[in-house]
Structure 1
Amino acid sequence: MSLVASLPWYDLPPLQPGLDTFWSVLRNELHRLSAPLSSYRLPIPDTLDRHTPLVEQWTNPGLLLSQCCGPDLFTPQARGLVPIARPVFSDLDCTPGQYFSYIVSASGREPASPQSAGTVRFVINSASSRSGCAALFEWASANGIDGDQVLLSGGHAASLEYLRNGAADLAAIDAHSWPLLDSRGITIIGRSTEAPAPPFVMHQRSPIHAALMYEALSDTIQQAGASINIEAVMSTCSQTYHPIQIPVAWHARLPVGASPCCVLV
C-alpha cells in the first residue's frame, strides 16, 4: 500500500514552509507513537503530496492525513473519508473550532443591495465549499441580494481575480486564507456566520488508527502549530458537519456541471 499525506486546504506559498515543518514534526510523532504497536516501521512519506489530485488522494486507502471542506464529506468522492479533528485557528476572532468567510467585492464598487437584484454576479470556488459557496449564498439571502449569475472559479485566489477583472461582483473568501492571498483591489463588505472549521481527515482503511493520528496531531500542534496559526485541535465526526444546503432558489443558477453543495449519498 502506498501511503500518502497532504495538507491542501491552506497550502499557499506563504504558508508552505510552515506546513513542511509541521509535517516533519508530525511524521516523527507518528513514528514515535506507532513504534510500540508494530513490529515494522511504517513507510510514512517524507513530504506532503502536492501533485496527486485530491479526489485520487481521498479514495486511496493509504491516505494517512488530508483535509476537506465539511460539505465534501457528503459527496460520493469522499465516501471513504473519516473526519478525525478540526483545527482551532489562532488568527480568527470566532468560537474555537469554528471559522467564517469574508464577503468581498472589488474596491471602489458600491456594495450590492436588494435594489440591484438581477445584476449582481457571484463567483464561487466550488459548489461543495462552505467558505466560498454556501457562505456566500447564505449571506446574500440574509441581505436580500438575489443575483442572476453564478460563476465557478476553482479556488479562492481565482475568485479574487474575477472580482479584480470585473468579471464578478461578490465572492466569499475563507477568513483563514485571507492573509495568504493577494487581496489588492479587494474590499471586505461583510462576514458570514460561523461554521465548523474544515476537518482533518484520513481514509477509513488507513493503517494508522484515528485515535493515534489525533494524538499525533495534538502533540505536533503543541510543537509547531504556531507557524500555521493553529493552536489546538478538537475531536469531531461527520455529524458535526451537517449537510449545508444552499437555498433551493440558487440551484438553477449554479454553473453547468456544478452540483449543489452536499450531494447526499
Structure 2
Amino acid sequence: MAFHCATLPLYDLAETRIQTDALWTGLATSFRKKGIKNVPDTLFRGEKTYQKKLFFGQICGYPLTHEYAGRFKVIATPLYRTPYFTGPEYLSVITVHQQCKWQKLEDARGSRVVINSRSSHSGYNILRLMVTPFTKETTFFSKVSVSGAHRQSLSRIRQKQADLASIDGLTWSMLEMYAPEALKGCRILTLTPPAPAPAFVTEKETSQEMLELFRNALKNAFDEPKFNLVAKNLFLENTQIIPENAYDCITEMERISIEDL
C-alpha cells in the first residue's frame, strides 16, 4: 500500500514547529529501525490533510467516530503530562474573559459562545453535553460563532467578541508555555468531563502485522533518552493501547446532548 504523508496537525503551534519536526524525526527513525518502509522524511502541513493517504497522523475523537468513521485504525493514544490529562483521557477548559464574574457554567446563560469547529469534540461536542441540562425550555447561548481554531477562539474572548469557549486542555498548556500572550485576558471557568485523547492513526488497510510494528516502534522510541527529551518539550510522555471502542463514548455524549448549541 502506498502511503502519502505523515501529519501531526492538532498541536502544531507556530511557536513549536521546531519541536514538532524533531518529534517526527525521532518517530521516523524508530519506525525505520523496525523495518517499516516508505517512512516520510518530513511532516505534511497543508489543507485537506485527511483526504490524503496517511502513513501516520493524529486525529480528534469526534471526526474519528463521525466523518472518518471506518477510515482509520488507531495505533495508540498519546499520554501527555499536563493538569488536563489523566492517562489517555483529556479535558477541555471552559474559558471566559479575565474580567468575567461568573462562578459556574450555568451563569453563562444568554451569553455568546465561540467554537473552533462543529467537528471538534474538545471545542463543541463536549460543550453541548455540559449545557444540555440547562436547555429544557430554551437555548442556552444567545449567539454561536465559529472561529476555525482554538487559538482564534481565545482571541475573540480576549477582544470581548465572544464570552465563552471550550479549549482543548493540551492546547491551553502549550500556549501557556510557548505563547502566553495568547492567554492574556482569559481565565478558566471550569473543566469538562474527560474523553480519550486525539489518537495516533494510520489507514484502515494497514495489516495487523504493520500495526504491531508501529506500536513496538513507538515503545522503542520512548525508551530512548534523547527522544524523551524531545517529546517532553511537547508534554508527550508515552502512548497507550486502549480499546478502539473507547472512543464510542464520544458518540454517546453526542447522543444524550442537545442537537446544536
TM-score normalized by structure 2? 0.83
1:126-141 pair list within 5 angstroms: 126-141=117-132
1:80 matched to 2:71? yes
The alpha carbon displacement at 1:196 in A equals 1.1
For residues 66 and 4 of structure 2, what CA distance do their matches in structure 1 show? 23
Residue 6 of structure 2 aligns to which amino acid in structure 1?
A: A
1:1-20 pair list within 5 angstroms: 1-20=2-21
1:163 matched to which residue of 2? Answer: 157
**Kindly tell me: are residues 52 and 197 of structure 1, through their superposed partners in 2, closer, same or farther at Cα, counting changes over 3 Å?**
same
SS of the residue aligned with 2:86? coil
1:124 matched to which residue of 2? Answer: 115
Unaligned runs of 5+ in 2: 176-181
1:56 matched to which residue of 2? Answer: 51
SS of the residue aligned with 2:15? helix
Residue 28 of structure 2 aligns to which amino acid in structure 1?
A: R
For residues 186-234 of structure 1, the C-alpha deviation after alignment (integer angstroms, 9 at most, x for no partner) is 1111111111111111111247811111111222233322222111111
For residues 131 and 218 of structure 2, what CA distance do their matches in structure 1 show? 36
Contact 1:71 1:244 in 2 (8 A): no
For residues 123 and 137 of structure 1, what CA distance do their matches in structure 2 show? 12
SS of the residue aligned with 2:233? helix
Pick one of 230, 236, 245 that aligns with 2:236: 230
Residue 42 of structure 2 aligns to which amino acid in structure 1?
A: T
1:1-265 pair list within 5 angstroms: 1-34=2-35, 42-57=37-52, 60=53, 63-92=54-83, 94-111=85-102, 114=106, 117=109, 119-141=110-132, 146-181=140-175, 182-206=182-206, 209-223=210-224, 224=227, 225-242=231-248, 243-246=251-254, 250-253=258-261
> Over the residues paired in the alignment, what is the CA RMSD in angstroms?
2.5
**Kindly tell me: are residues 175 and 120 of structure 1, through their superposed partners in 2, closer, same or farther at Cα, counting changes over 3 Å?**
same
SS of the residue aligned with 1:46? coil
Contact 1:130 1:244 in 2 (8 A): no
The alpha carbon displacement at 1:251 in A equals 2.3
**Kindly tell me: are residues 31 and 113 of structure 1, through their superposed partners in 2, closer, same or farther at Cα, counting changes over 3 Å?**
closer
The alpha carbon displacement at 1:165 in A equals 2.4
Contact 1:83 1:237 in 2 (8 A): no
The alpha carbon displacement at 1:245 in A equals 3.7
Unaligned runs of 5+ in 1: 36-41, 254-265
Contact 1:30 1:213 in 2 (8 A): yes
For residues 156-186 of structure 1, the C-alpha deviation after alignment (integer angstroms, 9 at most, x for no partner) is 0111122122221111111111133311111
**Kindly tell me: are residues 107 and 121 of structure 1, through their superposed partners in 2, closer, same or farther at Cα, counting changes over 3 Å?**
same
For residues 76 and 257 of structure 2, what CA distance do their matches in structure 1 show? 33
TM-score normalized by structure 1? 0.82
For residues 8-65 of structure 1, the C-alpha deviation after alignment (integer angstroms, 9 at most, x for no partner) is 1111123222211111111111111116xxxxxx2321110012422313xx2xx111
For residues 163 and 149 of structure 2, what CA distance do their matches in structure 1 show? 16
The alpha carbon displacement at 1:116 in A equals 5.7
For residues 31 and 87 of structure 1, what CA distance do their matches in structure 2 show? 20
For residues 130-149 of structure 1, the C-alpha deviation after alignment (integer angstroms, 9 at most, x for no partner) is 21112222333467792132
Contact 1:22 1:220 in 2 (8 A): no
**Kindly tell me: are residues 191 and 170 of structure 1, through their superposed partners in 2, closer, same or farther at Cα, counting changes over 3 Å?**
same
Residue 135 of structure 1 aligns to which amino acid in structure 2?
A: I
Residue 245 of structure 2 aligns to which amino acid in structure 1?
A: Q
